[in-house]
Amino acid sequence: MEKELKTLIVVEGLMEAEIIKTKLECFEIPCMLKFESAGRLMGITMDGLGEVKVMVPADYYDTALETLNSMEPTDNTENTEEE
């Protein structure tokens, strides 16, 4: 059975998302990145094409959010509270 995924944070750009993913994985929090491939292939970061969602299993959401909030803030991140 697949685990439900929740959006932890939405960032602009794959590089920042990869940094967040790596930090979460250091704390043994599984995560995946969801993004529009056209933006990555073409290098476009406008109109949502550069948007990357960092997704975590619902069971890890609270721990991941606490871990994320303990990291240094960045200029272009937006926390989400999707249920």
The CATH number assigned to the domain holding 43 equals 3.30.70
pLDDT digits (tens, 9 = 90+) for 15-55: 899 999 999 999 999 999 998 766 555 555 555 567 889 99
Does residue 83 surpass a pLDDT of 50? no
The Cα–Cα gap between 5 and 56 comes to 5
Q: How many domains does the chain have?
A: 1
Tell me the three state secondary structure of residue 26. helix
pLDDT band of residue 1 (cuts 50, 70, 90) is: very low
The Cα–Cα gap between 44 and 23 comes to 25
The answer to pTM > 0.75 is no
14 lies in which domain range? 5-79
